């Protein structure tokens, strides 16, 4: 388990380390920025740093009893609160458990640290309950909120936290880090492009075989658009791919078209935006349903997409007939 931040997080890490040394840490910290850049790992590394009894060079030692308890997932003064499943909400009962944890006395005589990720997953009742914990922090208690969409967090919660924006690393640093952490160097450019420059998301693509599945998605979509395969045939391919990743790939494909010169046609861009809204609805359905009929789902989506991509040609044909 890493005890150090990623290279692109060092400035933020050093700032917080200085505040720890000067005993000026806030009681609540919100880490903001896009997903896939390591905010959650940063929060966990900071928790380990605060709970460690023998930190070295500004990081947890990884060897003391506190670090071993943390690594085993059994440190009595640490709590990680996340949705049970990706895309699900954090409920009020979860926040009540966190609030009870926050007011207890530290069993190891130091900090009590709670990490909540992502903060925007709290529903309305949970958010209102969480405000009480923020308003009555205990001594040496740190609440670390991780947020990919801070605008979706209640303003009253944001105003009670010290906001720490975490920037996405530059391309050169990201490429170097990926080169040091994967054996799939030849695929780094493609992974980075698909991940929007986010290093951890790119690494996941490289290390899990998702890049090969991404290629199947791109080939299937191209065959549909060119008329080589029907929506039914491509749907059979798509139902073998990870559905949530596939939706993200599809949305990225649409975003790419919206950035192209062709999108200057307002009627075409409106069709793309409407289809993107359709993909958002499908993504919500995938997150809320355990066993959707993927074959039927992708058939419907792909038939809609075929009508979108065929429209410029139909428009041209109508213009010629007119």
Q: Give the pLDDT of residue 262.
A: 72
Q: Give the pLDDT of residue 266.
A: 78
Q: Give the pLDDT of residue 246.
A: 94
Provide CATH code, domain 7-167: 3.40.50.300
Three-state SS at 42: helix
d(CA 196, CA 213): 17
d(CA 310, CA 300): 16
Per-residue pLDDT of the chain (322 residues; tens, 9 = 90+): 567 899 999 999 999 999 998 888 999 999 999 999 999 999 999 999 999 999 998 999 999 999 999 999 999 999 999 998 877 899 999 999 999 998 888 888 789 999 999 999 999 999 999 998 898 777 889 999 999 999 999 999 999 999 999 989 999 999 999 999 999 999 999 999 888 899 999 999 999 989 999 999 999 999 999 999 999 999 999 999 999 899 989 998 998 888 888 767 778 889 999 999 999 999 888 877 667 899 999 999 999 999 998 876 555 443 444 4
Q: Give the pLDDT of residue 320.
A: 41
Among 164, 94, 154, which Cα is nearest to 128's? 154
Q: Give the pLDDT of residue 103.
A: 87
Dihedral angle computed from the Cα positions of residues 176, 179, 181 and 185, in that order, rounded to the nearest 10 degrees: 150
Q: Give the pLDDT of residue 288.
A: 75
d(CA 226, CA 238): 17
Q: How far is CA 109 from CA 104, 133, 143, 230, 300, in A?
A: 11, 21, 17, 65, 59
Q: How far is CA 33 from CA 46, 148, 151, 170, in A?
A: 17, 5, 11, 14
Q: Give the pLDDT of residue 6.
A: 96
Among 107, 20, 22, which Cα is nearest to 66's? 107
- Contact between residue 17 and residue 58 where contact means Cβ atoms under 8 Å apart: yes
Residue 72 sits at φ, ψ, to 5 deg, of -80, -5
pTM: 0.84
Element (H, E) at 269: helix 266-288
d(CA 280, CA 288): 12
d(CA 56, CA 245): 39
Cα 47 to chain centroid distance, Å, stands at: 20
Q: What is the DSSP string of 80-144?
A: EE--SSTTPPBPHHHHHHHHHHHHSPPTTSS-EEEEES-GGGB-HHHHHHHHHHHHS--TTEEEE
């Amino acid at each position: 388990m890493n005890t150090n931040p990623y290279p692109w997080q060092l400035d933020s890490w050093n700032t917080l380390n200085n505040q720890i040394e000067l005993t000026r840490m806030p009681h609540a910290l919100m880490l903001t920025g896009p997903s896939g850049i390591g905010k959650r790992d940063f929060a966990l590394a900071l928790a380990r740093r605060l709970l460690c009894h023998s930190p070295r060079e500004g990081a947890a030692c990884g060897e003391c009893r506190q670090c071993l308890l943390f690594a085993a997932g059994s440190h009595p003064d640490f709590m990680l609160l996340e949705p049970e499943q990706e895309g699900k909400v954090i409920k009020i009962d979860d926040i009540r458990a966190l609030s009870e944890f926050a007011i207890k006395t530290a069993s190891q005589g130091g900090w009590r640290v709670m990490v909540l990720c992502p903060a925007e997953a709290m529903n309305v009742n949970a958010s209102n309950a969480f405000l009480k914990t923020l308003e009555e922090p205990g001594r040496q208690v740190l609440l670390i909120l991780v947020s990919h969409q801070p605008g979706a967090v209640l303003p009253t919660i944001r105003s009670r936290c010290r906001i720490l924006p975490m920037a996405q690393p530059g391309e050169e640093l990201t490429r170097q880090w990926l080169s040091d952490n994967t054996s799939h160097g030849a695929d780094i450019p493609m992974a980075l492009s698909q991940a929007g420059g986010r290093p951890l998301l790119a690494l996941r693509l490289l290390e899990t075989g998702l890049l090969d599945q991404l290629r199947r998605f791109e080939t299937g979509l191209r065959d549909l658009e060119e008329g080589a395969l029907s929506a039914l045939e491509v749907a059979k391919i798509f139902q073998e791919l990870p559905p949530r990743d596939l939706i993200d790939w599809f949305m990225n494909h649409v975003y790419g078209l919206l950035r192209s010169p062709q999108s200057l046609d307002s009627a075409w861009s409106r069709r793309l935006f409407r289809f993107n809204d359709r993909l958002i609805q499908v993504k919500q359905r995938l997150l809320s349903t355990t066993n959707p009929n993927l074959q039927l789902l992708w058939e419907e989506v792909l038939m809609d997409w075929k009508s979108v991509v065929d429209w410029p040609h139909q428009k041209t044909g109508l213009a010629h007939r007119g």
